[in-house]
Structure 1
Amino acid sequence: MKIGYARISRPDKQDLSMQIQALEKEGCGKIYQDTGSAKNTARPQLQDMLRYAREGDEILVWRLDRLSRSLTDLISLTDDLGARGISLRSLTEPVYQTSGPMGRVVLQIMAVLAEFERATIIERTKAGLRAAKERGVHVGRPKLLSDEQATHIIQELNAGRMSLNEAAGLFGVSRSTITRLRRNLSNGAT
């Protein structure tokens, strides 16, 4: 039996329909669908699919990264499937099919390249963030309070003319934001 597995990371920006159509076209009798990061192998539908699959079944995915982004997890998963007599096939990476020894070699090469690509993207992102910080660009969520507002709040709190609740209400932020602001300013951070 052909079993399909489709996954997206972000339902607000991605759609499963393309993967599902491709899996249906390949004749998948059952398609499992997950939403979430591929870093976590405890995805509910993935676990259900792995319990459902039987010897002689073939699991199909749109791409290998729909199944896992970690080389270790991917190899572990394919080893488990192979030991159970279940093959794995990627629709967009046709050279990949685990039914033979060459398939395992190709899997490992592709997984290493995917992991390298992910690590490279992470490094480039970190370098870009460091460079932006060095140029004085604020990185992260936008500040809720201007520097002037922060100074005013701290002065009023220190003078006892305003409570944490009053400051939070006046500026439309949470009490924890005011507490964090006070702690950061007392530590010399802005």
Structure 2
Amino acid sequence: MLIGYMRPYQSDVNCEVQLQQLTEKHCEKVFVEEHSSAKKRTELEHLINNLKQGDKLIVTKLYILADSTLHLVEVLDAIKRKGAFFQSLQEEIDTSSPHGYPFHDMVEALAAFQRDVISENTKRGLYKAKQKGVTTGRPRKPDENVQQAIVMYESKQYTLAEIKAETGISKSTLYRYLEQ
């Protein structure tokens, strides 16, 4: 079965262009999200849950299906587990053709590459900051607040909520200092 999936986006707010293209591809069913948000993609979730082996999910462009490389990998994995196929018209991707299967592997490799780039850039930035003498991480609480919180805690006259309200020191921070 050919199944279309649409969601609004800036250039096609009413999904008219998508509907026309999916109709031309003879989609037997079309699932439409009511919103363009990345969150709560209920129609996509429903579609994937009901995919049968041999079905093909068709979108007009990759962005309709996923909002990030990681999300794309997750959706493609779910489609593959169902024994179904995926087609994106704009990018000319079709996993039902022999040339389409490596696409999933390429997306996974790109996602891993993206994670590595972010990780290396973060490490490089931390290293440069350290070389300049910049302290990284969460700023330490002022010592007088910590001392006041410890005194209040040890007096056993205050609840943890009262200590936090008075000093700004959270329960976990207080316990960390008490362990030292």
The offset of 1:53, in angstroms, is 5.7
Say whether the 8 Å CA contact 1:23–1:61 is kept in structure 2.
no
Letter in 2 for 1:80: K
Q: Partner of 1:157 in structure 2?
A: 153
Query: Which is further off, 113-122 or 50-59?
Result: 50-59
TM-score by length of 2: 0.60
| Residue in structure 2 matched with residue 13 of structure 1 by the alignment | none
Aligned residues: 160
TM-score (norm 1): 0.58
What's 1:183 paired with?
175
Does the 8 Å CA contact 2:12/2:18 hold for their aligned counterparts?
A: no
> Are the counterparts in 2 of residues 22 and 62 from structure 1 also a CA contact under 8 Å?
no
Structure 1: tracts of 5 or more residues without a match: 7-15, 38-42
Shift of 1:72: 7.3
The CA RMSD measured in Å over matched residues stands at 4.1
Q: Distance in 2 between matches of 1:118 and 1:22?
A: 32
Matches within 5 A, 1:1-190: 3-6=4-7, 17-18=9-10, 21=13, 24-27=16-19, 28=22, 29-32=30-33, 35-36=38-39, 44-51=42-49, 58-60=57-59, 62-63=61-62, 66=66, 69=70, 71=73, 74-75=76-77, 77-78=79-80, 80=82, 82=84, 87-91=85-89, 94-105=91-102, 107-124=103-120, 127=123, 131=127, 134=130, 135-139=134-138, 145-158=141-154, 160=155, 162-164=157-159, 165-171=161-167, 173=168, 177=170, 179-188=171-180
Q: Percent identity, aligned pairs only?
A: 11
Secondary structure at the counterpart of residue 99 of structure 2 = helix
Residue aligned with 2:136, SS: coil
- Cα distance in 2 between the residues matched to 1:168 and 1:48: 44
**Pairwise CA distance, 1:96:** 1.5
